[in-house]
Chains A and B, each alone.
Chain A
Amino acid sequence: MELSEAILGRRSCRSYNREKEVTKEQIREMLEYGIWAPSGTNSQPWRFTVLMGEKKAEFLEIMRKKIEEVKDNFTEQQLNIYNWSALSLEKGSAVILVWDSKKTWTSPQSIGACIQTFMLKAHDMGLGTLWVAAVHIAAEELAKMCNREGMELIAGVGVGYPSDKMIGKKGPPRLSVDEVAEFLG
């Protein structure tokens, strides 16, 4: 599809059709494009662990166990967000954990660009995605599970075929250019 169609059409997908499962090859294709995002000094700090099937279930177990362990440190509202995040990630076919392998001052921006890029590609392929930060609650445990110790966990991105509910979904209101930009000439 046209670039503008992808940019405007991409939604945060929380409702999936599990009758169709996303394949490894499809996720490979998404990430093949994600890695063409720009990065500071072409450092390409992004690393991915794609969790499917049993490993996805194991990831959810780890995340839920950690939430339960540390629940006294959070308000009920915060805990709801963590639990809801886990539930949202459970709904899709796969979870892509995104790591920062370099941890330099340009890494956060480079990885943000990369995630947006592969999410646009996913939309182009008829797939839905959901960018979840809450996975950081179990960063240490997940790094161990995925053999990514020493790297910083940036996000978990859920992927799956969107359910019919997502057709024509409008998404949240957007700011206008006037509200975000000033022109000095």
Chain B
Amino acid sequence: MELIDAIRGRRSIREYKPDPVPKEIIEDILEAGNWAPSAKNGHQWRFTVLTGKAKDDYNMMFRDHLNTFIKKHGRKEAGSAPWTLEIMEEAPVVVIVWNTNENGWITEEHSVAAAMQNICLRAYDLDLGSLWIGDVFYAYDETRKYFDKEWKLSGAITLGYPGTEGKIPKKKTLAEVAEFLE
């Protein structure tokens, strides 16, 4: 589809059909990530693609950890995480996103984010839905340990055939966020 339609049409999708996503399509989507700009061309993004049992097992670990957290700190402190976990359980694909953090620069995190946006746009282009997830941070250390990674955890992205069109978020106007100085 046209770039402008992809940018305007992409939504955060929180309901998914159970249909699996073919591997070639996932690869296509991740390839889009590889074409983001990056600090010193470092290509700091890495992906762990979870489907089937591997996804279920990870989600179970996350659920156990969340339950412990909630027992200790209360439900309110867990914010949107329990809901996010349900979405991760429903979606056929969960992509854990890492930042190799080669130099320890914040610009490397910006680079990974650029890749993640390419991924979300390309997913929408291929009639898939996606959700950019930060709530895996509730199990930050546990996720790194679980996958045995030295990298920083950037977040996760669900992928799947959307079960909903998604809500149009309320956006500030350009005048509210931009100033032109000459």
Q: How many interface residues does chain B have, given as a range? A: 35 or more
Asked if B85 is an interface residue, CB under 8 A from chain A, the answer is no
Closest 3 CB pairs of A and B: A112-B113, A184-B54, A112-B110
Asked if A120 is an interface residue, CB under 8 A from chain B, the answer is yes
Residues of B within 8 A of A50 (CB): 178-181
Given contacts A44-B177, A174-B34, contact A54 B182 (CB under 8 A): yes
* A21-39 Cβ-contact flags toward B at 8 Å (1 or 0): 0001001100111011110
Q: Which of the candidate stretches A2-10, A67-75, A82-90, A158-166 sits at the interface with the other chain? A: A2-10
Asked if B128 is an interface residue, CB under 8 A from chain A, the answer is no
Q: How many interface residues does chain A have, given as a range? A: 35 or more
Check A51–B181 contact: CB distance below 8 A.
yes
* Residue with the greatest number of chain A CB neighbours at <10 A, chosen from B105, B110, B179, B182: B110
Given contacts A7-B35, A105-B137, contact A155 B110 (CB under 8 A): yes
Asked if A52 is an interface residue, CB under 8 A from chain B, the answer is yes
Given the complex of chains A and B, what is the CA–CA distance between A53 and B116 in angstroms? 34
Check B8–A108 contact: CB distance below 8 A.
no
Q: Which residue of the partner chain A has the closest CB to B31?
A: A177
Q: Which listed residue, A10, A35, A185, touches B52 by the CB 8 Å rule?
A: A185
Asked if A149 is an interface residue, CB under 8 A from chain B, the answer is no
Q: Which listed residue, A38, A115, A147, A180, touches B114 by the CB 8 Å rule?
A: A115
Chain A nearest Cβ from B141, distance in angstroms: 15
Q: Which listed residue, A36, A42, A55, A185, touches B7 by the CB 8 Å rule?
A: A36
Asked if B154 is an interface residue, CB under 8 A from chain A, the answer is yes
Q: Which residue of the partner chain A has the closest CB to B26?
A: A183
Check B35–A35 contact: CB distance below 8 A.
no
Residues of A within 8 A of B45 (CB): 180
Given contacts A7-B122, A42-B169, A52-B181, contact A2 B117 (CB under 8 A): no
Interface of B is mostly: helix
Asked if B91 is an interface residue, CB under 8 A from chain A, the answer is no
Check A185–B53 contact: CB distance below 8 A.
yes
A residues near B, CB below 8 A? 1-8, 10, 12, 24, 27-28, 31-33, 35-38, 40, 42, 44, 46-55, 105-106, 108-113, 115-117, 119-121, 124, 131, 133, 146-147, 154-155, 172, 174-177, 180-185
Q: Which residue of the partner chain B has the closest CB to A171?
A: B35
Given contacts A28-B178, A35-B172, A108-B110, contact A176 B34 (CB under 8 A): yes
28 A-B residue pairs with Cβ-Cβ distance under 8 Å, sorted by A, are: A1-B3, A2-B1, A3-B3, A4-B32, A4-B122, A7-B35, A33-B4, A33-B8, A35-B172, A36-B7, A38-B117, A44-B171, A47-B177, A49-B181, A50-B180, A51-B182, A54-B182, A55-B181, A109-B132, A109-B134, A116-B36, A131-B37, A175-B43, A180-B30, A180-B45, A182-B49, A183-B49, A184-B48
Residues of B within 8 A of A105 (CB): 134, 137
Asked if B6 is an interface residue, CB under 8 A from chain A, the answer is yes
Given the complex of chains A and B, what is the CA–CA distance between A124 and B78 in angstroms? 41
* B159-173 Cβ-contact flags toward A at 8 Å (1 or 0): 000000000011110
